[in-house]
A and B are shown apart, each in its own frame.
Chain A
Amino acid sequence: MTAEEVVTAPRRQSRRGASFRDAGPPVALIVIFGIFAALSPQFRSIDNVQNIVDAAAVLAVVTCGITFVLMMGSIDLSAAGVMGASALTVSLLVANNRNDNDFGLLGILVAVLLGCAFGCLSGLALVLLKVPSFMATLGVSAIGLGVATLMFAGVQPNISDAMLESWAIERFLGFAYLTWIAAACILVGWLIQRYTRLGRYAYAIGGAEEVLTLSGVRVKPYKIAVFTLAGAFYGLGGVMVTSQLGAGLVQAGDGYDFSAITAAVVGGTLLTGGRGGILHSAVGVLLVMVLTNGLVQVGVSPYWQGGVEGLIVVAAVAAAVIPQRRRNQVVK
Chain B
Amino acid sequence: MKITPRPAAAIMSLSLAAAVLTGCSSEQAGGEDTSASEAGCKSADVRLVGQVRNESNPYEASWLAGGDAFAQSVGLKQERLTYDGDSTKQQEQISQLLAGDTKCLVMNVLPNGDSDTPPIVKGADQAGAYLVTQWNKPADLKPADYKTWISHITYNGVESGQQIGDALATAIGGTGGIIALQGILDTAAAKDRFAGLEASLKKNSGVKLLDQQAANFSRAEALTVTKTLLTKHGDNVKGIWAANDDMALGALEALQQAGKAGKVAVVGIDAVPDAITAIQGGKMTATVSSDGTWQGGIGLAIGYCVATGKLKVADIAADNRAFFAKQFLVTKDNAADFAQPKSNPADYECGNVFNRVAGPLT
Inter-chain contacts of A241 with B (CB < 8 A)? 220
**Nearest neighbor of B256 in chain A, beta-carbon distance:** A169
Inter-chain contacts of B213 with A (CB < 8 A)? 296, 302
- Which one of B34-42, B133-141, B197-205, B222-230 is at the interface? B222-230
Q: Count residues of B near A (Cβ-Cβ below 8 Å).
A: 33
- CB pair B223 A47 closer than 8 Å: no
- Within 8 Å of chain B (Cβ to Cβ): is A236? no
- CB pair A154 B182 closer than 8 Å: no
Instruction: Give chain A nearest CB distance to B178 CB in angstroms.
Output: 16
Give residues 53-91 of B contacting A (CB, 8 Å): 54-58, 61-62, 65
- Within 8 Å of chain A (Cβ to Cβ): is B257? yes
Give residues 294-310 of A contacting B (CB, 8 Å): 296-297, 299, 302-303, 305
A86 to B44, CA, bound (A): 43
A154 to B61, CA, bound (A): 5
- Contacting B58 at CB < 8 Å: which of A156, A169, A305? A156
**Nearest neighbor of B229 in chain A, beta-carbon distance:** A296
Q: Residue among A42, A154, A252, A299 with the most chain B CB within 10 A?
A: A154
- CB pair A254 B220 closer than 8 Å: yes
- CB pair A42 B219 closer than 8 Å: no
Given the known A-B contacts A302-B185, A302-B213, A302-B214, are A154 and B55 also in contact in the complex, defined by CB atoms under 8 Å? yes
A246 to B249, CA, bound (A): 9
**Nearest neighbor of A152 in chain B, beta-carbon distance:** B56
- CB pair B218 A299 closer than 8 Å: no
Inter-chain contacts of B65 with A (CB < 8 A)? 154
- Within 8 Å of chain B (Cβ to Cβ): is A257? no
A246 to B211, CA, bound (A): 26
Inter-chain contacts of A169 with B (CB < 8 A)? 256-257
Give residues 111-154 of A contacting B (CB, 8 Å): 145, 148-149, 152, 154
- Contacting B54 at CB < 8 Å: which of A149, A245, A254? A149
A-B contact count (CB 8 A): 88
Inter-chain contacts of B229 with A (CB < 8 A)? 296
Instruction: Give chain B nearest CB distance to A37 CB in angstroms.
Output: 14
Given the known A-B contacts A45-B231, A158-B274, are A244 and B62 also in contact in the complex, defined by CB atoms under 8 Å? no
A246 to B223, CA, bound (A): 11
- Within 8 Å of chain B (Cβ to Cβ): is A272? no
Give residues 150-184 of A contacting B (CB, 8 Å): 152, 154-156, 158, 168-169, 176
Interface on chain B toward A: helix, strand, loop, or mixed SS? Answer: helix
A182 to B223, CA, bound (A): 18
Give residues 248-288 of B contacting A (CB, 8 Å): 249-250, 253, 256-257, 272-274
- CB pair A154 B228 closer than 8 Å: no
- Contacting B219 at CB < 8 Å: which of A148, A249, A299, A303? A249
**Nearest neighbor of A247 in chain B, beta-carbon distance:** B274
- Within 8 Å of chain A (Cβ to Cβ): is B232? yes
- Within 8 Å of chain A (Cβ to Cβ): is B212? yes
**Binary A-proximity of B124-147 (CB < 8 A = 1, otherwise 0):** 000000000000000000000000
Given the known A-B contacts A42-B232, A154-B55, A302-B185, are A51 and B274 also in contact in the complex, defined by CB atoms under 8 Å? no
- CB pair B274 A244 closer than 8 Å: no
Given the known A-B contacts A297-B232, A302-B213, are A152 and B55 also in contact in the complex, defined by CB atoms under 8 Å? yes
- CB pair A55 B274 closer than 8 Å: no
Inter-chain contacts of A250 with B (CB < 8 A)? 54, 56-57
Instruction: Give chain B nearest CB distance to A285 CB in angstroms.
Output: 13
A247 to B252, CA, bound (A): 12
Instruction: Give chain B nearest CB distance to A199 CB in angstroms.
Output: 30
Given the known A-B contacts A149-B56, A154-B58, A169-B256, are A55 and B218 also in contact in the complex, defined by CB atoms under 8 Å? no
Give residues 78-113 of A contacting B (CB, 8 Å): none
A6 to B267, CA, bound (A): 61
- CB pair A296 B225 closer than 8 Å: yes
Inter-chain contacts of A245 with B (CB < 8 A)? 219-220, 223, 249-250, 253
- Contacting B56 at CB < 8 Å: which of A148, A246, A292? A148
Inter-chain contacts of B256 with A (CB < 8 A)? 169, 246
Give residues 28-58 of A contacting B (CB, 8 Å): 42, 45, 47-48, 51, 54-55
Given the known A-B contacts A168-B257, A296-B225, A302-B213, are A51 and B58 also in contact in the complex, defined by CB atoms under 8 Å? no
A223 to B231, CA, bound (A): 43
- CB pair A149 B227 closer than 8 Å: no
A305 to B216, CA, bound (A): 13
Inter-chain contacts of A48 with B (CB < 8 A)? 228, 231-232
Inter-chain contacts of B231 with A (CB < 8 A)? 42, 45, 47-48, 51, 297
- CB pair A246 B220 closer than 8 Å: no
Inter-chain contacts of A176 with B (CB < 8 A)? 257
Instruction: Give chain A nearest CB distance to B82 CB in angstroms.
Output: 9
- CB pair B56 A155 closer than 8 Å: no
Inter-chain contacts of B61 with A (CB < 8 A)? 152, 154-155
A212 to B313, CA, bound (A): 72
Given the known A-B contacts A149-B54, A251-B56, are A303 and B225 also in contact in the complex, defined by CB atoms under 8 Å? no
- CB pair B211 A299 closer than 8 Å: yes
Inter-chain pairs besides A245-B219, A297-B232, A302-B212, 17 sampled, C-beta below 8 Å: A42-B231, A45-B231, A149-B55, A152-B61, A154-B55, A156-B274, A168-B257, A244-B220, A244-B253, A247-B274, A249-B220, A250-B56, A254-B220, A293-B228, A296-B225, A302-B182, A302-B213
Report which A residues bind B (CB closer than 8 A): 42, 45, 47-48, 51, 54-55, 145, 148-149, 152, 154-156, 158, 168-169, 176, 241, 244-247, 249-252, 254, 292-293, 296-297, 299, 302-303, 305
Shortest Cβ-Cβ A-B pairs, 4 listed? A154-B61, A250-B56, A302-B214, A149-B56
Report which B residues bind A (CB closer than 8 A): 54-58, 61-62, 65, 182, 185, 211-214, 218-220, 223-225, 227-229, 231-232, 249-250, 253, 256-257, 272-274
Q: List 24 A-B contacts (CB under 8 A).
A: A42-B232, A45-B231, A51-B228, A148-B56, A149-B54, A154-B62, A155-B273, A156-B272, A169-B256, A176-B257, A244-B220, A245-B223, A245-B250, A247-B219, A247-B274, A249-B220, A250-B54, A251-B220, A292-B224, A296-B211, A296-B225, A299-B211, A302-B212, A302-B213
